[in-house]
Amino acid sequence: MLSIQEHGDARNTALVVSGEPPVRSTVKSILSGIGFYVSECESVLGASSLVQRKPCPDLLVTEARPPEVDGWTLAESFMGECPLGRVVLMSDRVDVGGLNQHGRPWVLVPTTRLSELLVLAVHSMGLGRPQHRILVVEDETPVRNLVQLLLTRAGYVVISAGDGQEALELSRLYPGKIDLVITDIEMPRMSGSDLAEHIKLERPDTQVLLMSGYASGVLREFATTAHFLRKAVRTESTNCQGRRVVE
């Protein structure tokens, strides 16, 4: 019996640091409402040890001038440990000019305006949005694993199948939305083009991206379309073309 295994975490994670319980509660409520798993800490000293744990949180929300250790210091430490992370600084006493001089990917949100500005700030950094789900279909295990790795690193949730027939069965079993199918064309049991026809009928909102190392004969018609990806797989081409098809 087939089992569905998703790769990639569909929830962003956040660490909230504030010495004021009402502020922590407000931030946690806002972030939880847009899909974050939220941890909280009342002091920067306590948060510093959490920052060094792996995996890193996707987002740090901290007061800019909290007690004990300056929030700027925590943000610097966080970016050193988690270079792909994002930082929101909360304060009503930090000037924007001083913030911009640091040249860091930080966003300033006034503490008194969290309820109206925090979600916008988080979305502006590419976080807190629903993740797209992609079904990857490839009979060559090394290629399938590589595509899966590239897509999960880019923030997608990935389901994988070893051929078209397995992919069709997984699609029928999967209860949620599948945004995109990336499939090889020439495979045993069921070709990618036949799979695409089934997907169009059964999941009309799902896009299909065909990929192949060949572009001759019957495949030439696919190779000239926007929904064709030529092997060998490259990080930027896979991410960009997948994003273009999905969005």
Where is pLDDT greater, at 7 or 169?
169
Among the listed residues 16, 35, 32, 13, the one whose alpha carbon sits nearest the alpha carbon of residue 24: 16
Among the listed residues 85, 87, 86, 108, the one whose alpha carbon sits nearest the alpha carbon of residue 97: 108
CA distance 157 to 112: 35
Find out whether 60 and 86 touch, Cβ atoms under 8 Å: yes
Residue 246 has pLDDT above 60, yes or no: no
What DSSP element (H or E) covers 199? helix 192-202
Dihedral angle, C-alpha 245, 230, 211, 189, nearest 10 °:
180
In this prediction, residue 8 has a pLDDT band, given cuts at 50, 70 and 90, of low
Residue 26 has pLDDT above 90, yes or no: yes
The predicted structure's pLDDT at residue 163? 93
Find out whether 71 and 17 touch, Cβ atoms under 8 Å: yes
Judge if 9-124 and 133-246 fold alike in CATH terms: yes
The predicted structure's pLDDT at residue 137? 93
Residue 30 has pLDDT above 70, yes or no: yes
DSSP string over 31-81: HHHTT-EEEEES-HHHHHHHHTSSSPPSEEEEESS-SSS-HHHHHHHHHHH
133-246 domain in CATH 3.40.50.2300?
A: yes
Among the listed residues 53, 49, 52, the one whose alpha carbon sits nearest the alpha carbon of residue 68: 49
Among the listed residues 66, 31, 27, 33, the one whose alpha carbon sits nearest the alpha carbon of residue 47: 66
Find out whether 74 and 51 touch, Cβ atoms under 8 Å: yes
Could you say which DSSP state residue 130 is in? Answer: P
Give residue limits of the domains in the chain. Answer: 9-124, 133-246
For the chain, the residue count is 247
CA distance 67 to 90: 13
State in Å, rounded, how far the first CA of the chain is from the last one.
33
Where is pLDDT greater, at 75 or 239?
75
Which class is domain 9-124? alpha beta
The predicted structure's pLDDT at residue 156? 77
Q: Which of 2-16, 155-169, 209-223 has the lowest mean pLDDT?
A: 209-223
Tell me the β-bridge partners of 39.
15
Q: Quick one: average pLDDT of 105-127?
A: 83
What would the pLDDT profile of 173-202 be if each residue is shown by its tens digit?
A: 888 889 999 988 888 888 888 999 999 999
Share of the chain above pLDDT 90, in %: 18
The predicted structure's pLDDT at residue 229? 53
Average pLDDT, the chain: 76
CB atoms within 10 A of CB 63: 22
In this prediction, residue 91 has a pLDDT band, given cuts at 50, 70 and 90, of confident
CA distance 242 to 210: 11
The predicted structure's pLDDT at residue 68? 59
Find out whether 128 and 31 touch, Cβ atoms under 8 Å: yes
Q: Quick one: average pLDDT of 121-133?
A: 76
Mapped onto helix, strand or coil, the DSSP state of residue 195 is helix
Mapped onto helix, strand or coil, the DSSP state of residue 113 is helix
Q: Quick one: average pLDDT of 134-138?
A: 92
